[in-house]
Structure 1
């Protein structure tokens, strides 16, 4: 079975983890700050906070920006549920902004129109979370301009986009956002086995992020509210969480980071080869790539023209039966049963729904061969022809 994504682990990565296993530190040792420094330098951002998952990073990002009960957070429906759940963890309300169906990203024009209505209704969001779907950055300059106009904060969910660029700046530089989130899950661009990171240029936000990731507890003499009783002294200053990353995970992440540019370059080469293989098949359309963006290509997604629900289902099943583990990213978040119970219903974001019913994610990972790509595309086209003739 060809998976839709998987990690690429080198001997260098293995050696890095073994080094930690042979050291005095397994949890909160020197490797975590080393990893944070390496990521912040790569992304040209001032501060980075490593945590145990991107979900945790999203949660503490909301907390650091003061999201609380009855606040409103907007995000994209075309994402994993964590992009919305993070606001609910804080007691906030969640709403969704429809996507550009050609890219899968939150549409800045739709956002502008929704903000104008929300201003009239006094329901403006406190935070907007654009999601860089599949590795391609949203139009962050346009979203940032709206943030200034309507006074909301921005968390970039860049879980798919580590190593990507927007207008010649690294995704994660926070040029157009308050906080940016990365994921290091095994199917992402680089992995720490599990892990995430929150980046910011704001020192006060960084202090809050680090406080919330570790029980709300600090022993930093510069942050203590009372005189220390002794060298053991610490204070709980907020209700935080145990979201810390271990040295084992950080060592793997730091080792992987050294290969990031190579991984992204390889992913782009594979995506270009897919594009070439699919060029003659006008009924299979890759997502549009915007100018001024270097795509990290976490995912390679195609849309099937005139795709019915039955065709969509049988196409995925047949491809998997033939050894190609294609996937679908994503079911619109608000169609999940939990969100339906919150009052959302079918038809809320029509572009996201139309995209979902036509989208298929093809395998993409650094070790994928061109021979495997040819097999994937040939099989996709052949199966599609058979199923279309059967008028599913």
Structure 2
């Protein structure tokens, strides 16, 4: 059996054809196909505006500049990729790490307590970890009650829903970001997007995406003005052609991931020492499938299991090392926050293979191998 990674892209003939056609077009940088991709993302998520960019980190960066001012305090999670809180630092704002719930998402009740204690807190960056959407009722309550800005980091969660509220619709947030990295549900190679229902945020991010340049005055055909310090975070039409083709298959991809999640659940929910991070409920789009393992009772170390699984020719991963414990963040004074759930989560969890083309036979092999090692 070939090596089974924890995640990978799925590319078919329709994707090859879309990219080839884009390459044959007169304009291959950001152009009409990018516009079409943005339109399609709006239709899919229900948001009014969409901006596609070069990667998910660029999406976080631009959204942070649009939402935040220098020294703003922002509640965020230690359970994410580095880019989530790094983007707060890019905007010269201050991340404040809040503990997670049992399902891996930021604890919004603790966020509310923090805002009550410190009304100068300006924003919450809520990550839909592993594809599982955050509680939209709580998010709405906090936004309406305390007038804080909300960014939903849905890099893991395109296609997920909470009580009919689709990820990226921005019903209860100022903006949402997506990532189109190859291990996600859909890919543009590298790429990302921001969705919003706020015209001012949309126009600001559009300006920032392209060097802060705009053509407001009809002085000459070549004339433009740089009005703010922007960036080159454009994405190519070649990538967007792939993105549109991938978007066409997204729902099918998510259906398959949910089937795989239920197959994992049916095995692990009956096990004494291995449990799914959360039980299937039809909301998550399952970028990741995470299990909690009681290593103490099984008398095996996490690193020992991790390395042994590689010998069985499949990959697992740890998502994530607590951001606040990273050396750079420790140098900034972080690392001693009261985050017992995050600490326990990091000790106990690993991510198992989860992707569209993972076959039943491959998944059964992963499960069988895991139990074989743990015996």
Q: Classify the TM-score, shorter chain.
A: over 0.9
How many pairs align?
372
Specify the SS of the correspondent of 2:372.
helix
Superposition pairs of residues 318-333 of structure 1, within 5 angstroms: 318-333=308-323
3-state DSSP of counterpart to 1:294: coil
Cα 1:174–1:167 shift into 2, 3 Å:
same
- 1:236 deviation in Å? 1.1
Contact 1:97/1:349 (<8 A) preserved? yes
1:305 to 2:301 alignment:
no
Offset of residue 127 of structure 1: 1.7
> 1:271 offset after TM fit, Å?
0.6
In structure 1, stretches of 5+ residues that fail to align are 386-392
Q: Is the 8 A contact 1:307 1:358 kept in 2?
A: no
Q: Within 2, Cα distance between the matches of 1:144 and 1:320?
A: 43
- For residues 42-61 of structure 1, the aligned pairs below 5 Å read 42-61=44-63
Shift of 1:307: 4.4
Question: Aligned pair in 2 of structure 1 residues 105, 31: CA closer, same or farther (>3 Å)?
Answer: same
Between the aligned partners of 1:8 and 1:277, the Cα distance in structure 2 is: 26
Conserved in 2, the CA contact under 8 Å of 1:278 and 1:377? no
1:196-235 paired onto structure 2 within 5 Å: 196-219=192-215, 224=216, 227-235=217-225
Is this contact kept in 2: 1:329–1:360, CA < 8 A?
A: yes
Q: Distance in 1 between matches of 2:139 and 2:203?
A: 25
Question: Matched residues in 1 for 2:96 and 2:337: separation?
Answer: 14
- CA deviations 1:333-371 (Å, max 9, x no partner) are 001100011111245311111101100100011111111
Which residue number corresponds to residue 85 of structure 2? Answer: 84
Separation of aligned partners in 1, 2:71 and 2:256: 45
Instruction: Name the counterpart of 2:139.
Output: 143
Are the structure 2 counterparts of residues 113 and 306 from structure 1 closer, same or farther at C-alpha, using a change threshold of 3 Å? farther
1:118 match: 118
Deviation of residue 107 (structure 1)?
1.0
**Cα contact 1:181–1:196 (8 A) shared by 2:** yes
DSSP-derived class of the 1:357 partner: helix
Three-state SS of the structure 1 residue aligned to 2:301 is: helix
Task: Measure how far apart 1:305 and its partner are.
Answer: 2.0
Q: CA shift at 1:170, angstroms?
A: 1.5
Does 1:62 find its partner at 2:51? no
Deviation at 1:153, TM superposition (A): 0.2
Deviation track 1:301-344 (CA, whole Å, cap 9, x = no partner) reads 00002549961111111111211200010011001100011111
Pairing partner for 1:369 from 350, 355, 359 = 359
> Is the contact between residue 97 and residue 337 of structure 2 (CA under 8 Å) also seen in structure 1?
no
Any conservation in 2 of the 1:136–1:289 contact (CA below 8 Å)? no
Report Cα offsets for 1:5-27 as digits up to 9, x if no partner: 00000100011000011111110
Deviation at 1:289, TM superposition (A): 4.1
Deviations 1:116-144 (A, max 9, x none): 2223xxxx322211000000101122022
Aligned partners of 2:265 and 2:280 also within 8 Å: no
Q: Secondary structure at the match of 2:329?
A: helix
Residue pairs, 1:179-190, within 5 angstroms: 179-190=175-186
Q: Which residue of 2 aligns with 1:128?
A: 124
Structure 2 SS opposite 1:130: strand
What are the Cα deviations for residues 21-61 of structure 1, in whole angstroms up to 9, with x where unaligned?
11111102211000000010011110000000111011111
Task: Give the aligned partner of residue 256 of structure 1.
Answer: 246
Alpha-carbon distance change, 345 to 28 in structure 1, aligned in 2, over 3 angstroms: closer
- Give how far 1:282 is off: 2.2
- 2:270 corresponds in structure 1 to 280
Question: Any gaps of 5 or more consecutive residues in structure 2?
Answer: none
108-117 or 154-163: which moved more? 108-117
- The answer on whether the counterparts of 2:101 and 2:341 sit within 8 Å (CA) in structure 1 is yes
In structure 2, the residue corresponding to 1:189 is in which secondary structure?
coil
Aligned-pair RMSD on alpha carbons?
Answer: 1.5
